[in-house]
Structure 1
Amino acid sequence: MEITFEILLALFAVASVAGFIDAMAGGGGLLTVPALLAAGLSPTQALATNKLQSSFGSFSASFYFIRRGLVSLAAMWRAIVCTFLGSAIGAEAVQVVSLNILTSLIPLLLIAIALYFLIGGKAKEQRGEPKLSDAAFAFAIGGGVGFYDGFFGPGTGSIFTLCFVAIGHFSLVEATARTKVLNFTSNLAALLFFILAGLPVWEIGLVMAVGGFLGARLGAKMVITKGTRWVRPLVIMMSMAMALKLLWQQHGQWWLSLF
């Protein structure tokens, strides 16, 4: 494929918007992966290049939240380790395990997440005793969701955010900050696997990384300044958008055949 200046400029712009959305609610891949495919990359190259650019965005948001004191890496070290290992194992497992079950269940889970924050999340978003210890949360949620991100990926940020709110009893802003740290961790683990396989298109990935980094920085700032007033609607909208996209991919031809 020929990489022109116009293509790079368009992908930079897409990555900037995606980074902004991703820092606040997740789901930036809804924009970047189709854009990479439209630019002529193969599906595996698109996924690998997307991990490359999204790693910079999730790092940017994580670093901003850490500097602002919303996240303590020392307090999250167990979850970070378990998420990294889970994502690495998932990236290996995807080569030999069928995606059929996940592709059927994940849209339903994303719809449930959207309904949780739409209907019941606000009442439950309050400080309290966590339902799991730090070690149990790290192993079950960090390891489990990390495995899912390395294995498949859509909706990872929404799932992490829901777990931090519903199980960890963090506010939505605190949950979003912690989610980005674990997002970066799982992105990095999967990216290392893709690099070893020689899949990322570096010229495109690094240009998009700059856009994603800048967009994520702005999105992280908006999380702190606007709080749940902006984050909650975006989480709901992005969860529903990801669910509808996956359902269309699975059943779109069936719906079209009815008309």
Structure 2
Amino acid sequence: MDSNILILMIATFFSGFIDAIVGGGGLISVPTLLALGLPADRVIASNKMIGVSTALAGTYKYIKSKIIVWEGLPKLIVFAFAGSILGSYTNSLMSPEFLRVFIFFTILSLFLYLTFKKEIEFKNLPISRYAPIFFPIIITALGFYDGFFGPGTGTFLIMALLYFQRFSLLQAGATGRVLNLTSNLASILYFSTTGLIDITFVLPAMFSSFIGGYCGASYSVRYGSRGIRPLLYFSVTGLLLKLGYDLFLS
């Protein structure tokens, strides 16, 4: 086996594991694809295929474990799909650079929140009367973001489900997988017309990320919120460091 493929498979196993639990797997897979020499314009498209494989594995495990909250989910799937198609199209028209500063400070606020807040679940609080209005807009925006740029979408989905729907951390991670799968599939529908998906790299990586995604979802089911929070903090910290480096040091 080619050493580059082996390195990629190891990296995407771990990216799948993390992504299936708290999102942020692209922190591992995207730099690996770049380091192995894949042209930058192919990285986002190829990474979407890896993301689909991870999300499929996680969704399958969460469905088997009956953790996904299906009430109202079909409508949100439509919003995530539409947002991602629009985001993928917009990505072909302009650079995502202008989003980096906004995303950096959003991630910074999440980092500070997770650092100083002992309880990050809102399940004991009533759902806001404005949630039915704003939540579909948030999901559409996150779908757009995933198609346009992508890093951290799974993490943002978890936080949105925690706040607007009052889900437990485990429910948010499981239900967020379905929405993340939707936005990734929508992106692939668009990118498949551009010829930017590198099948040579993608197929082995999809296999290893599927295994990683299934193992990650199994970890979530077994350990619940207690085991998820440290990895959520790890994911947010990694996103913050990566975006901070890209903005201020690279």
Q: Which amino acid aligns with 2:208?
A: G
Q: 2:64 matched to which residue of 1?
A: 67
Using a 3 Å threshold, how does the CA distance of structure 1 residues 111 and 132 change in structure 2: closer, same or farther?
A: farther
CA distance in structure 2 between the aligned counterparts of 1:17 and 1:100, rounded to whole angstroms: 27
Shift of 1:132: 5.4
CA distance in structure 2 between the aligned counterparts of 1:147 and 1:132, rounded to whole angstroms: 25
CA distance in structure 2 between the aligned counterparts of 1:98 and 1:14, rounded to whole angstroms: 26
Using a 3 Å threshold, how does the CA distance of structure 1 residues 231 and 132 change in structure 2: closer, same or farther?
A: farther
Q: 1:125 matched to which residue of 2?
A: 122
Shift of 1:121: 6.0
After superposing the two structures, state which structure 1 stretch, 46-55 or 99-108, moved more: 99-108
Structure 1: segments with no counterpart, 5+ residues: 254-259
Structure 2: segments with no counterpart, 5+ residues: none
Q: How does 1:1-259 map to 2 (within 5 A)?
A: 5-73=2-70, 75-120=72-117, 122=119, 124-131=121-128, 136=133, 139-253=136-250
CA distance in structure 1 between the aligned counterparts of 2:95 and 2:43, rounded to whole angstroms: 20
Residue-pair matches, total: 250
Q: Contact between 1:110 and 1:158, CA under 8 Å: does it hold in 2? A: no
Moved over 6 A (4+): none
Shift of 1:28: 0.9
Using a 3 Å threshold, how does the CA distance of structure 1 residues 53 and 132 change in structure 2: closer, same or farther?
A: farther
Where 2:249 maps in the other structure, the secondary structure is helix
Shift of 1:167: 1.4
CA distance in structure 2 between the aligned counterparts of 1:45 and 1:177, rounded to whole angstroms: 29
Where 2:237 maps in the other structure, the secondary structure is helix
After superposing the two structures, state which structure 1 stretch, 126-135 or 223-232, moved more: 126-135
Where 1:196 maps in the other structure, the secondary structure is coil
Residues 185-241 of structure 1 deviation map (CA, whole Å, 9 limit, x = unaligned): 111111111111011111211110010000010100111111122211111121121
Q: Contact between 1:165 and 1:175, CA under 8 Å: does it hold in 2? A: yes
CA distance in structure 2 between the aligned counterparts of 1:111 and 1:85, rounded to whole angstroms: 28
Q: Contact between 2:121 and 2:168, CA under 8 Å: does it hold in 1? A: no
Q: Contact between 2:33 and 2:43, CA under 8 Å: does it hold in 1? A: yes
* TM-score when normalising by structure 2: 0.93
Where 1:148 maps in the other structure, the secondary structure is helix
Shift of 1:125: 3.2
CA distance in structure 2 between the aligned counterparts of 1:206 and 1:160, rounded to whole angstroms: 27
Using a 3 Å threshold, how does the CA distance of structure 1 residues 177 and 81 change in structure 2: closer, same or farther?
A: same
Using a 3 Å threshold, how does the CA distance of structure 1 residues 221 and 133 change in structure 2: closer, same or farther?
A: farther
Residues 152-189 of structure 1 deviation map (CA, whole Å, 9 limit, x = unaligned): 11111111111111111111110111111111111111
Shift of 1:135: 5.0
Q: Which amino acid aligns with 2:73?
A: M
CA distance in structure 2 between the aligned counterparts of 1:37 and 1:98, rounded to whole angstroms: 17
CA distance in structure 2 between the aligned counterparts of 1:64 and 1:141, rounded to whole angstroms: 26
Q: Which amino acid aligns with 2:46?
A: T
Shift of 1:123: 5.5
Q: 1:257 matched to which residue of 2?
A: none
